[in-house]
Amino acid sequence: MNRTELRFALRTLPFLDSRAQLPAGALELRPHPGRRLLVWHPDAIEAVFRADQRLGHPGSRSFRPLMGPKSLLWQEGERHASYRRVLGTPLRGRRLAGYREMIAATVHEAIDALPTGAEPPIADWTRRIALRIMARIVFGEADEGVLEPFAAWMDRALGSRYRTLAYRYVKGNLPLPGATLEHALTAAARTAARANPATLAGQLLGADSPFAGIDDGELRDQIVSLLFAGHETTASTAAWALFWLSRDDSLRERVVAEVSSSDGFAADEVPVLQAVVQETLRITPPVPAAGNRVLTRDCPFDGGTVAAGTVVTPSIYLAHHRADSFAEPYRFDAGRFLGGRVPPQRYFPFGGGIRHCLGSQLGQAEVRMIVAAMLRRRELVCVDPRAGVPQLRGHAMAPSPRLRIRILKCRD
């Protein structure tokens, strides 16, 4: 590992902040052989996402074993497209609206347990809600017997950045879930598929699905991928949104007024809250880098050529902090998203191309509903706003576990 890679691994966010304004918007993390480029210039981002179908998507050294080798995240070609059709359709439009009541019930259940004076660590609290919602979508119910060990495994692997790095560079691998949890996850999926074909497990294993006959290994990889991708990111976004709102009384009051007559499910009913979510995803993107892409042929770039075999990683964090895309990029300003659309090559919290996040609509709806219900039912402050510094949790960017909110008053 060279010095640049070492600084990137150990001091990722300060390293990125020191590079954000580089005009080229590209940085070599590793030279040949195995060249790796971080890219965030809008032209390069547009080119990568436009060419995505022809690129390779190998994943990263840490996440590939965690999600499993057969995860849809690293599948290619027709099998990948097929996974997206089967699992993506239930997460959009009319089918998505079918989850509205379940999401509301899950969120309200969690808020019921917050009396005046409670001080939950905000990221942990939102993580539990988002995991329960995702489990209900995948299995039809949130079986704590599976969720508790799943959450404990995630914490073991990702809870501390330094532990994650030690696992990766000293032991060579992040900790795996173990045979008991893997068996519980696949058994829960097969039971759910028989009981309720509308669950994601049911869609995947239903008689007319191309994946009806997959073995337990491949099933395990999809269930872990869905539970993981579907909750860590959403939870971080909700925690950050509550954090940013707790710092701005007038913005918070505007959102409180909006959510007095809406549960937040429909974005067009709550334009200010939706702008808060979009700005939250810009300034503190829970996934700071989209998936790795590998060039399958030589490509022209910045007056030169990037050779086939180069790994290109689109940096969401850096693209979102370019001053020529967003004036004063380190200032939270929801107003940026109240008057028009930001070009997708400058703002892409959900990645792009053929790997664009499958759950982008679901994730945003959940965040709006968590924030809406919380602001409607509780008055809150951040206990230690200085703890609101971004931290890496695996590859995801989350608030510090020290960041707590205090419930000042129950409005119910």
CA atoms in the 13 A half-sphere facing the CB of 179 = 0
Judged by beta carbon, residue 55 or residue 255, the one nearer ligand HEM is: 55
- CB 314 → ligand HEM: shortest distance, Å? 7
Structure tokens that stand for 42 in this block: 């809008």
- Strands 293-294, 36-39: parallel, antiparallel or unpaired by DSSP? unpaired
Give long-range contacts, CB 8 A cutoff, 24+ apart: 329-334. 329/20, 329/283, 330/283, 332/244, 332/247, 332/248, 332/279, 332/280, 332/283, 333/279, 334/251, 334/272, 334/275, 334/276, 334/278, 334/279
Whole-angstrom Cα Rg for the chain: 21
Contacting residue, 16, 111, 318, 362, with ligand HEM by CB under 6 A: 362
Q: Which of 234, 241, 253 is nearest to 376 (CA)?
A: 253
Residue 115 near residue 378, CB atoms below 8 Å: no
Q: How far apart are CA 167 and CA 181, in angstroms?
A: 20
* 25 or 286: CB nearest ligand HEM: 286
287 binds ligand HEM (CB under 6 A): yes
Instruction: Looking at residues 43 to 72 of the shown chain, list those that interact with ligand HEM (rule: CB under 6 A).
Output: none
Binding residues for ligand HEM, rule CB under 6 A, total 26
Is 175 within 8 Å of 153 (Cβ atoms)? yes
* Piece of 223-231, 326-334, 385-393, 399-407 that binds ligand HEM (CB under 6 A): 223-231
Q: Which two tokens stand for residue 150?
A: 């799943």
Give min distance, CB of 230 to ligand HEM, in A: 3
**Which range in 120-128, 158-166, 281-289, 369-377 contacts ligand HEM by CB under 6 A?**
281-289
Does residue 202 bind ligand HEM (CB under 6 A)? no
Q: Which two tokens stand for residue 176?
A: 């795996």
Work out whether 264 is an interface residue with ligand HEM (CB under 6 A). no
Q: Does 90 bind ligand HEM (CB under 6 A)?
A: no
- The closest of 269, 228, 247 to 395, measured between CA atoms, is 228
Residue 393 interacts with ligand HEM (CB under 6 A): yes or no = no
Per CB under 6 A, the segment of 17-25, 98-106, 115-123, 224-232 that binds ligand HEM is 224-232
Give the 3-state secondary structure of 4-60: HHHHHHHCHHHHHHHHCCCCCCEEEEECCCCCEEEECCHHHHHHHHHCHHHCECCCC
Can residue 234 be called a binding residue for ligand HEM (CB under 6 A)?
Answer: yes
Contact window for ligand HEM (CB under 6 A) among 21-29, 99-107, 154-162, 226-234: 226-234
Q: Which listed range, 141-149, 298-306, 330-338, 344-352, lies at the site for ligand HEM (CB under 6 A)?
A: 344-352
Report if residue 237 touches ligand HEM, rule: CB under 6 A: yes
Specify the stretch interacting with ligand HEM by CB under 6 A; choose among 13-21, 100-108, 264-272, 286-294.
286-294
Residues that bind ligand HEM (CB under 6 A): 73, 84, 91, 226, 229-230, 233-234, 237, 281, 286-287, 290-291, 349-353, 355-359, 362-363
